[in-house]
Amino acid sequence: MSSFSGSIRESAQNDEIHLATSEISFSQILVGTDFSKSAAQALALAVTIAEFFDSEIIVIHAVKPVIYGDSQEPMPPEVLNAQLETAKYDMKELIASDPRLAKLRVQTKVDFGRAVDLIDQVAKTTKSTLIVVGSHGAGGLKKFTFGSVAETILRQSSCPTLIVGPQCQVEHHPFRSILFATDLETTGLRPAQYASALAEHVDGRLTLLHVIEKRPDSPEFDFDLFEDRLRKQLRGLLPSDVELFCNPKIRLEYGSPAQLITSIARSEATSLIIVGAHHQSALADHAPWSTLSHVIREARCGVLVVRSHLI
């Protein structure tokens, strides 16, 4: 199995993230499922990644008790037990449906509760290094597989979250061609590190993309100087020796970030899009949230969301 190195180190002096060389690994991959088609796609991609890194996979399902009528009375224990046993049976069928799982270390957990709470609890207990969930994609982030669960995960989780949208086509080599899209203001070094580390250790292609939404229209504006500065900023996100393992492509584009990220990903046959999230504020703003929603909905590959800073 391939592995990749590189580390995330916080400076005690200035709280910035710096590239280093100690090991990072997707050693524990947490997959949430509601047994839907999109959730099955998420599990398939998680299994492919686990094969690369010899990861342990933890598959979880939160059971929501079915309430009949308007009764506020507690559900009879036998009804609750039947619901739980049905969900456990569905989980066994899901695991058995992919023979690749027999070659990996797999845990499952089926329990009552809110999906977001169960995911958060298990992620912390197992020290998960990657969370994978599916998205139905219709109508934005509110239509994720777990409703608002994926949104909450993206806002709160310190580990990367891989969202598998409705157009995602799971392939054998998910890191073959990586597109890292950054706004250079709220996202940068930490997600760039994941992009460069993956490209290095699985011999993938790497493209760095920055989209300028509004083209300056002043006749005195020096476009060459402006674009040269942005290219240097993008190149500065990568390790100094990046050319030893890949020839990163740097792209500056003008227009809508949502439209351009997805169109460039398709034109370059991207197998993974990586974007950054800057604490809760960036995700709370309408524009970044809307852009991310569009990218996940339209992308033909998974979208890996990495926090710009540890929380």
pLDDT tens digits for 160-174? 999 998 899 998 899
Give the C-alpha separation, 51 to 73, whole Å.
47
pTM score, whole prediction: 0.86
Q: How many domains does the structure of the chain reveal?
A: 1
Q: What is the pLDDT of residue 9?
A: 37
Q: Which residues of the chain have pLDDT under 70?
A: 1-24, 66-74, 137-149, 278-289, 309-311
Q: What is the residue-wise DSSP string for the chain?
A: ----EEEEEE-TTT--EEEEEEE----EEEEE--SSHHHHHHHHHHHHHHHHHT-EEEEEEEEPPP--TT--SPPPHHHHHHHHHHHHHHHHHHHHT-GGGGGSEEEEEEEES-HHHHHHHHHHHHT-SEEEEEB--TTSGGGBTTBTHHHHHHHH-SS-EEEE-TT----S-TTSEEEEE--SSS--HHHHHHHHHHHHHTT-EEEEEEEESS----TT--HHHHHHHHHHHHHTTS-TTGGGT---EEEEEES-HHHHHHHHHHHTT-SEEEEEE-HHHHHHSHHHHHHHHHHHHH-SSEEEEEESS--
User: Residue 152: its pLDDT value, please?
Assistant: 75
- Confidence at residue 284, expressed as pLDDT on a 0 to 100 scale: 47
What's the token pair of residue 285? 């703003």
The enclosing domain of 55 has a CATH number of 3.40.50.12370
- List, for residues 254-277, the tens digit of each pLDDT value: 999 999 999 999 999 999 999 988
Predicted confidence at residue 279, as pLDDT, reads: 55
Give the structural domain span for 180.
Answer: 5-307
CA–CA separation, 170 vs 19, rounded Å? 29
